């Protein structure tokens, strides 16, 4: 049987760091208020002219190096992003050009914070079916470009960054299963309410910002992630104790803690990077994964549960033997 196995990981964070103290001088907030409600201490912000593709390229090159492959070995490129460089071509195509790869199918996936899990699920299906042997899967965002820096309820949450993995066909178990879903009925709870066909004049005026009903989003996230955890374990006939590491979307510590409680997992076995990164949307899970791999927290042979929840609403999980 063919499995898709993570051969290498990589990540990149912009140099500029925006701390909670910095935000105190920008909006009516405090470091204590932000920490208590989100766990976030700082976030990275892309420099002027630094694009989502720039971040994706840096993360991808690290993943390629870690996997020990050549760029020409890649026969599939998928980028999960909410903040593409352009309307078109896709960020994946722009990334392909930067890397010097020719001919591999390349496309973006837009599922907001669940974007990387969606992209991973798609790549897994390509490899299992024999349609690809080596896939580059990236989550990359420059969310700071769509944040209203006058809205204290949202501007404290988000940051920029990118994470990437190389997936390769293997006879060894890697991705055991992926589970993705969505319910567009909740689109108004977390949205950027303008686009090409709706309110484009506001986009042109620079008025296209994230809007969020925080309490409602929190409740739905905790409830939905609990369900997807149960679905994942049931599909693989596993117990909660069979999970070595939970690598969740880094939205805020309260959601992460609630999911860990659902799994009856000690926080010692939960990868948490939200305090340093903020919510980086599609980049969140691969950033946390790479941090855990490079720090030695996560080791080969361990079972990981990756999960995320995002605007749409979208949600997803991936059960992985690393």
Which residues are part of the catalytic machinery?
113, 249, 279
- Taking the C-alpha atoms of residue 41 and residue 272, their distance in angstroms, rounded to an integer, is 12
CB 132 within 8 A of CB 75: yes
CB 67 within 8 A of CB 129: no
Q: How many CA atoms lie within 13 A of 17 on its CB side?
A: 9
Burial 288-309 (b: 16+ CB within 10 A, else e): bbbbbbeeeebeeeebbbbbbb
Structure tokens at 188: 């108004």
* Secondary structure of residue 317 in the 3-state scheme: strand
Contacts of 47 (CB under 8 A, 6+ apart): 14, 15, 16
Q: Label the pairing between strands 160-170 and 134-142.
A: antiparallel
């Amino acid at each position: 049987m063919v499995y898709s196995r993570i051969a290498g990981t990589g990540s990149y964070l912009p140099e500029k760091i925006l701390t909670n103290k910095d935000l105190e001088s920008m909006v009516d907030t405090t470091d204590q208020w932000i920490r208590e409600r989100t766990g976030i201490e700082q976030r990275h912000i892309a420099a002027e002219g630094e694009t989502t593709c720039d971040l994706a390229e840096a993360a991808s090159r690290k993943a390629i190096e870690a996997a020990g492959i050549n760029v020409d070995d890649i026969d599939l490129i998928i980028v999960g992003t909410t903040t593409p460089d352009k309307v078109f071509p896709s960020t994946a195509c722009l990334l392909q050009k930067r890397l010097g790869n020719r001919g591999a199918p390349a496309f973006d996936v837009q599922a907001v914070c669940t974007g990387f899990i969606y992209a991973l699920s798609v790549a897994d299906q390509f490899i299992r079916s024999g349609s690809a042997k080596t896939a580059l899967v990236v989550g990359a965002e420059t969310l700071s470009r769509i944040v209203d820096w006058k809205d204290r309820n949202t501007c404290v949450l988000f940051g920029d960054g990118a994470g990437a993995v190389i997936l390769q066909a293997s006879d060894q178990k890697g991705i055991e299963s992926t589970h993705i879903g969505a319910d567009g009925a909740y689109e108004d709870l977390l949205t950027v309410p303008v686009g090409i066909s709706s309110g484009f004049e506001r986009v042109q005026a620079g008025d296209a910002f994230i809007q969020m009903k925080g309490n409602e989003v929190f409740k739905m996230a905790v409830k939905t992630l609990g369900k997807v955890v149960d679905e994942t374990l049931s599909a693989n006939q596993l117990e909660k104790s069979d999970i070595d590491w939970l690598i969740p979307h880094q939205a805020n510590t309260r959601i992460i803690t609630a999911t860990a409680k659902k799994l009856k997992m000690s926080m010692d076995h939960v990868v948490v990077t939200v305090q340093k990164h903020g919510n980086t949307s599609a980049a969140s899970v691969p950033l946390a994964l790479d941090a855990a791999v490079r720090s030695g927290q996560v080791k080969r042979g361990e079972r990981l549960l990756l999960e995320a929840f995002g605007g749409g609403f979208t949600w997803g999980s991936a059960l992985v033997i690393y």
